[in-house]
Copies of this chain bind each other. A is one copy, B any other.
């Protein structure tokens, strides 16, 4: 047996026999190397094996830990959406969610808004303020419809971290990721076409599918590995699917990061059936693992991947700055972007370009990554402590939303309304499927509340469930 295999066995025994308890910090790599007389890389390899078995977890800047709970047995199962293309509905419910103003809400677990306070965002706000003071005229005229060259240069540099070689001319700046997705959908389809999506799926993407007169075919999706390639291949055989839209890196709402070999296999499948992939990477820079995993776009050698992203989750949605790397569809994407909203505001682009150039963006996301990883653990603990033991929950590898699956009798559409009356906002799972499925699920945001408020929100949900569904706690 290899050295790292032996070490892994020994650590596994210690964990399983309770020598290291849930939540415990494990010895550092250096410490173990000294104790066992092995190399640093042997210890790292041993930890990698245990991480894959989910017996240990790495936390940025903190080291290795025994996970606070073994979530394997409480994970939702792979989703089972209906296997036929459907028209998207649920607009009324989405509008309700969007219209829900913060004033009515004391504990906001509903909107996927990032943390927007703190020192690391200040340099950006300062640049914006300075530009508006000293160069207001730069913000007035028409600019390049593809986006300001300074920003596109920085974006092409950033793309390297996800394994992409992009030229500034490969990029088109958009009004956030919502416009990016909408433009890409229109660029690769004609009305009536079928788009394959993950299930559950971000409601904004589904509403864009609806508005472009397309049909959504939801594919079974594993809560930790992403879209089922087997199910996707079956669907590709059966239906004339025009494109696949996925959020493979820090998925919304499930939180998974699709393994890189699976990303590559998805790309190969798209090649084999000659269809486009629209890759929503909006949470990609917020994976807790560092360096961040590669995007599907990194494997794209024939230009069929349209990568969409924005600063809405990493920095602030109010910036309204996103982008598309559209590969072979670039010209069509440029056309649709122009007719959709012409150019984007210049000063926001310039301020973001400076933020990136001076390292402020990297500093900011490093801090956010750690913050969100900690907040995830807090929320998972609160869920374990207060919600019924039948509750299943995902364990995100990035971003700041997770997915809760209650017992089938619990209706989150009704629960959402009742919770709102008590000042707690959640997003019902019904928004995340074309069919209104997932009525017993919900998405919870864990970005910008304090741990105390977050736990209080979960307690209020728990009380409501106890009242409405007394059987859930029996």
Q: Does A116 contact B (CB under 8 A)?
A: yes
Q: A207-B339, A340-B179, A340-B340 are in contact. Are A117 and B95 (CB under 8 A)?
A: no
Q: Does A371 contact B (CB under 8 A)?
A: no
Asked if residues B125 and A341 are in contact (CB atoms below 8 Å), the reply is no
Looking at A140-148, A384-392, A428-436, the stretch in contact with chain B turns out to be: A140-148
Distance A204 CA – B338 CA, assembled complex (angstroms): 8
Which of A94, A138, A175, A341 gathers the greatest number of chain B CB atoms within 10 Å?
A341
Asked if residues B318 and A346 are in contact (CB atoms below 8 Å), the reply is yes
Asked if residues A320 and B341 are in contact (CB atoms below 8 Å), the reply is yes
Distance A414 CA – B22 CA, assembled complex (angstroms): 76
Q: Does A132 contact B (CB under 8 A)?
A: yes
Distance A438 CA – B348 CA, assembled complex (angstroms): 39
Q: What residues of chain B lie closer than 8 Å to A186, measured between beta carbons?
A: 211
Asked if residues A340 and B117 are in contact (CB atoms below 8 Å), the reply is no
Distance A138 CA – B132 CA, assembled complex (angstroms): 15
Q: What residues of chain B lie closer than 8 Å to A287, measured between beta carbons?
A: none
CB-based nearest B residue for A345: B320
Q: What residues of chain B lie closer than 8 Å to A338, measured between beta carbons?
A: 94-95, 98, 178, 204, 207
Asked if residues B320 and A142 are in contact (CB atoms below 8 Å), the reply is no
- The 0/1 profile, CB within 8 Å of B marked 1, for residues 179-210 of chain A is 10010001000110000000000001001101
Which of A140, A191, A335 gathers the greatest number of chain B CB atoms within 10 Å?
A140
- Given contact pairs A175-B342, A318-B346, a sample of 14 additional A-B residue pairs in the complex whose CB atoms are under 8 Å apart: A98-B145, A99-B145, A101-B144, A102-B141, A111-B142, A117-B137, A139-B318, A139-B319, A142-B318, A174-B341, A178-B339, A178-B340, A320-B341, A340-B340
A-B contact pairs, 22 of them (CB 8 A): A99-B145, A102-B141, A113-B141, A128-B139, A129-B129, A132-B132, A139-B316, A140-B319, A141-B318, A142-B317, A174-B341, A176-B342, A182-B340, A186-B211, A211-B340, A317-B343, A319-B345, A320-B342, A320-B343, A320-B344, A341-B341, A345-B348
